[in-house]
A = this chain, B = another copy of it.
Amino acid sequence: MTWKEKVHEVIYEADTKAGKVFDIALLIVIVASLVLVILDSVEYISLQYHSLFVTLEWIITIFFTIEYILRVISIKKPKNYIFSFYGIVDFLSTVPLYISLVFAGSGALLSLRALRLLRVFRIFKLVRYSGAGSSVAIALRNSVPKILIFLYSVVIISFIAGTIMYIVEGPEHGYTSIPRGIYWAIVTLTTVGFGDIHPITPLGQFIATIIMLLGYGIIAVPTGIVTAEMAKENFRKNTQVCSNCGENDHRDSAEFCHKCGYSLNKRQQEKEIENED
């Protein structure tokens, strides 16, 4: 085992102790780098601890640089990593400080550093395969096509509602264009209700009333879709596996496999075997 293989094991796999330690260390540095970006955006904190923040930024950048170089070196086909989603994210979350040395514009620096946020998906990936998440994830994946049709309907309704309100209320009441009307319609349909734009004419308020009742009613649709999928998932979990064909989606009360007709009842199977002799 060469040192490259060892590094590969530590960085890319989580089986060994060293691999787990590395994963947790990386997670801490990612979270720390995010906290840094967030705190740096608060002006009075940023001004007070400027030099501390610059130092920490350099430490994190160097850590990310070493990690990036090791990832590239230790893998057999570096291209696979470099042009993967995580490869690009890792690169983009490392370079901002180096760029800021060359180009003086520190304003753009921050925007680039915020790309580091995409790194959280790496943490997300760790969580995704935990027990509790997986059944929810399956139910959600099954809901996606239905949810998309629902969202399509919501967007169509918002287009119609936004256009009507633009005509009814007009620019003098804040509905300055159809896109702005659509923005208001989505704010209202989703029951967010900022109140930055709101109907003023009686007719506009009457139409708004209908849109609100619609939004209040149709929230039941995605909820119904996801809940029905989750309930299905709950039932699917309580199942037996057919010893003949391996089918595993049986009803609670099933005594025979619905796929091959083989008995699911072990004792009965043994009896059948005995009878055959």
Residues of A within 8 A of B (CB): 34, 37-38, 41-43, 110-111, 114, 117-118, 120, 124, 127, 130-133, 135-136, 139-140, 143, 145-156, 159-160, 163-164, 166-167, 171, 176-180, 182-183, 186-196, 198, 202, 205-206, 208-209, 212-213, 215-217, 219-234, 247, 249-264
How many protomers of this protein does the assembly include?
4
Which of the residues B180, B227, B252 comes within 8 Å of A224, measured between beta carbons? B227
For A159, the chain B residues whose CB sits under 8 A away are 34, 38, 117, 120
Chain B nearest CB, measured from A123 CB (Å): 8
21 intermolecular pairs with C-beta atoms under 8 Å apart:
A38-B177, A38-B179, A43-B171, A117-B163, A136-B150, A143-B220, A155-B213, A187-B208, A192-B216, A193-B193, A194-B194, A194-B198, A216-B219, A220-B227, A221-B226, A224-B229, A224-B230, A228-B230, A250-B251, A253-B259, A255-B260
Decide if B191 touches A190 in the complex (CB within 8 Å). yes
Q: How far is the CA of A212 from the CA of B216 in the complex (A)?
A: 13
Chain B nearest CB, measured from A181 CB (Å): 8
Q: How far is the CA of A220 from the CA of B259 in the complex (A)?
A: 33
Chain B nearest CB, measured from A70 CB (Å): 26
Residue of B nearest to A116 (CB): B163
Decide if B179 touches A41 in the complex (CB within 8 Å). yes
For A217, the chain B residues whose CB sits under 8 A away are 147, 150-151, 222
Q: How far is the CA of A198 from the CA of B193 in the complex (A)?
A: 11
Residues A178 and B38 in contact in the complex (CB < 8 Å), given A117-B160, A196-B198: yes
Residue of B nearest to A249 (CB): B252
Q: How far is the CA of A22 from the CA of B163 in the complex (A)?
A: 27
Residues A223 and B223 in contact in the complex (CB < 8 Å), given A149-B133, A152-B127: yes
Decide if B219 touches A223 in the complex (CB within 8 Å). yes
The 3 closest A-B pairs by CB, nearest first: A254-B258, A256-B261, A192-B193
Chain B nearest CB, measured from A41 CB (Å): 4
Q: How far is the CA of A225 from the CA of B132 in the complex (A)?
A: 11
Q: How far is the CA of A262 from the CA of B262 in the complex (A)?
A: 10
Q: How far is the CA of A226 from the CA of B249 in the complex (A)?
A: 23
Decide if B220 touches A156 in the complex (CB within 8 Å). no
Residues A149 and B120 in contact in the complex (CB < 8 Å), given A183-B205, A190-B212, A192-B215: no
